[in-house]
Structure formats: C-alpha cells, structure tokens
Amino acid sequence: MKASEIREMPVEDLVKKVDSLEEEHFNLRFQARMGQLTNPIQLRDVKKDIARVKTILNEKKAAAKA
C-alpha cells in the first residue's frame, strides 16, 4: 500500500486499517511458527504497512491539534 493512498483515507478508516493489519500480522506470525507460511516476505510487508499507516495517522492527529 502506498503512502499517497493512505493519506487520502479519513482517520476512521485508518484506525480500522491498523486493526485489520495487526490481525493479519498475528495470523502470519502464527503461520510462521507452525511452519505453514508460504511467503515469508509477506510478514515483512505487513509490518511495514502497519508502520506506514500509524505514521500517517499520527501526522493527521498532530495536524488536527494544531
């Protein structure tokens, strides 16, 4: 997911997106521990997406306070 796409989303959608990505990250970690993960790069990508969304979410919250 690109940062430009994330910046266009409203704050409520970003919060939902973080929740869904964290759930996906949990499931991927579980699969990795069980030896069922077919694409280990997917785990890294989800972690980066979570960080990207949280960063933009914090930027939007800071802008709203200012």
Residue 65 has pLDDT above 90, yes or no: no
Structural domain spans, the chain: 3-65
pTM of structure:
0.91
Q: Where are the beta strands (DSSP E) in the chain?
A: none
Fold of 3-65: Helix Hairpins (1.10.287)
Residue 12 has pLDDT above 90, yes or no: yes
Closest CA to 26 of 47, 51, 57, 53: 47
pLDDT band at 10 (very low <50, low <70, confident <90, very high): very high
Average pLDDT over residues 45-59: 97
The fraction of the chain above a pLDDT of 90, given in percent, is: 92
